[in-house]
Copies of this chain bind each other. A is one copy, B any other.
Amino acid sequence: MEKTSADSLPLTVNSSEKQETVCIFGTGDFGRSLGLKMLQCGYSIVFGSRNPRMSSLLPNGAEVLSYSEAAQKSDIIILAVHREHYDFLTELTELLNGKILVDISNNLKINQYPESNAEYLAQLVPGAHVVKAFNTISAWALQSGALDASRQVFVCGNDSKAKQRVMDIVRTLGLTPLDQGSLIAAKEIENYPLQLFPMWKFPFYLSAILCVFFFFYCVIREVIYPYVYEKKDSTFRMAISIPNRVFPIAALTLLALVYLPGVIAAVLQLYRGTKYRRFPDWLDHWMLCRKQLGLIALGFAFLHVIYTLVIPIRYYVRWTLRNMTITQATAKKENPFSTSTAWLNDSYISLGILGFFLFVLLGITSLPSVSNAVNWREFRFVQSKLGYLTLILCTAHTLVYGGKRFLSPSILKWYLPSAYVIALIIPCTVLVIKFILILPCIDRTLTRIRQGWERNSKFSKLALNVKTHI
């Protein structure tokens, strides 16, 4: 049976037979690179090939034999062949019985085939122990040793001893094996190297749309409007002034969008009176990309901070300030100091700095190594409590920035209000609903629902091990 054959494999590399032999089917680029690296790490290598003749490209010290001869030399066979050419293995099924077959293949597209290459291989050669490994490693990285992004080798397979032996090889090559469980995981492992930031797509496009919209909105108000009415060329504002309006707006809006789905979910649970009905798909998806939305928001906040700090070294600003001073000096007019303006100005700057500081803290906590070092309670504390505090500070920063002239009709241009007024809509909505939700009477109901209570439920339940999250 399965178990017996697995037991007959030597459990580990013995010091006596250190020169373990590994067979590689296929003499292509990756096969050769892997062979060379394994030779350097003390393995002896046999290549299996359709045309078994030595080529100058193959690493020195390796043998090249026919597939069947090579297979007999080792009980670990690494398959460095495209999936389309797996057919030849059906002729070798008897030879491969009980051996470890390592599938290292990748596809060209995500979900190219109905089943993963490794599962297909396991069906072709049912007697072999198929292990998926090495597909995330590049040939170049193997050769050069520059393995920054790819020291991790995902390994999966149904036979744990076979998996263990492959993981030993992985470690000997200086790589880090990550056991991903049974062969079912092969599909995900094969898709993994083909992905390009899948969780970032929606947040990225959303923020791009936000930026473009607000950029043109500001161009209309600040470049086209003065040109039409005053024939003034303000196009240079598109380099710094307008980006420095667009970035904070995008940051605040995206930050609010991080907390909006949680608020919607709570309202939905309150309305339904139960937590046991699924949220709509869009809400689920939205909740899963909150981290990405938040990090993009942090990026915009960072840009806003630097764009603000460079203000005093801009030519335009220096010119304006100097001209104002000269005009005043010529007119010999003193400019009285307004304490209320100083208060407003200083406090909106201070609120912004503190908000940015907390925002950076949130960002640091979302680094994988930091978030792994905190427990669930601490993570919730940071992401929920500190997160809301950040949202409050940033919203307050924008409100105080508006100050007195907030909704005065004089700032309307072509009936368009200032951009930051629009930016305040979502954050204020989120904060108001959140404020209502934490009123004691509503919070109590919500907590009960989250502990498993149902408004229309017949039987009471043991609320055990309840660990919920907003």
In the complex the two chains form, is B15's CB within 8 Å of A183's CB? Answer: yes
Q: Is A141 an interface residue (CB 8 A)?
A: yes
Contacts of A42 in B (CB 8 A): 182, 184
In the complex the two chains form, is A375's CB within 8 Å of B136's CB? Answer: yes
Q: Per-residue 0/1 for A299-318: is the Cβ within 8 Å of any B Cβ (1 yes, 0 no)?
A: 10011011111111111101
In the complex the two chains form, is A287's CB within 8 Å of B144's CB? Answer: yes
Closest to A379 in B: B149
Q: Per-residue 0/1 for A255-295: is the Cβ within 8 Å of any B Cβ (1 yes, 0 no)?
A: 00000000000000000000010000000100110010000
In the complex the two chains form, is B158's CB within 8 Å of A81's CB? Answer: no
Contacts of A318 in B (CB 8 A): 321
In Å, the complex CA distance between A335 and B327 comes to 11
Q: Is A21 an interface residue (CB 8 A)?
A: no
Contact A181:B168 (CB < 8 A) given known A314-B346, A315-B345: yes
Contacts of A311 in B (CB 8 A): 312-313
In the complex the two chains form, is B150's CB within 8 Å of A376's CB? Answer: yes
Contact A11:B160 (CB < 8 A) given known A140-B467, A314-B345: yes
In the complex the two chains form, is A30's CB within 8 Å of B465's CB? Answer: yes
Q: Is A2 an interface residue (CB 8 A)?
A: yes
Contacts of A161 in B (CB 8 A): 11-12
Contact A151:B372 (CB < 8 A) given known A14-B158, A350-B239, A350-B240: yes
In Å, the complex CA distance between A13 and B196 comes to 32
In Å, the complex CA distance between A247 and B314 comes to 21
Q: Is A353 an interface residue (CB 8 A)?
A: yes
In the complex the two chains form, is B462's CB within 8 Å of A82's CB? Answer: yes
In the complex the two chains form, is A339's CB within 8 Å of B288's CB? Answer: no
In Å, the complex CA distance between A379 and B238 comes to 32
In Å, the complex CA distance between A341 and B31 comes to 59
Partner of A3, one of B10, B168, B379: B10
Q: How many residues of A contact B (CB 8 A)?
A: 149
Closest to A237 in B: B346
In Å, the complex CA distance between A171 and B321 comes to 63
In the complex the two chains form, is A236's CB within 8 Å of B138's CB? Answer: no
Q: Per-residue 0/1 for A1-35: is the Cβ within 8 Å of any B Cβ (1 yes, 0 no)?
A: 01100100011111110100000001111110000
Which of A187-195, A222-230, A413-421 contacts the other chain?
A: A187-195
In the complex the two chains form, is A322's CB within 8 Å of B324's CB? Answer: yes
Closest to A308 in B: B313
For this complex, 18 residue pairs linking A to B, each with C-beta atoms less than 8 Å apart, are A13-B158, A13-B182, A15-B159, A15-B182, A28-B461, A29-B463, A31-B464, A80-B464, A138-B469, A140-B469, A141-B376, A193-B376, A240-B346, A306-B357, A308-B310, A310-B353, A322-B324, A326-B335
Give me the interface of A with B, judged by CB distance under 8 Å: 2-3, 6, 10-16, 18, 26-31, 41-42, 55, 57, 80-82, 104-106, 122, 136-141, 144-146, 148-152, 158-161, 164, 168, 171-172, 179-185, 192-197, 233, 235-236, 239-241, 243, 276, 284, 287-288, 291, 299, 302-303, 305-316, 318-319, 321-326, 328-330, 332, 334-335, 337, 339, 341-343, 345-347, 349-350, 353-354, 356-357, 360-361, 366-381, 383, 451-452, 459, 461-469
Q: A26-B464, A172-B184, A310-B353 are known contacts; what are 6 more A-B pairs with Cβ within 8 Å?
A: A3-B14, A82-B462, A82-B465, A239-B346, A302-B360, A303-B357
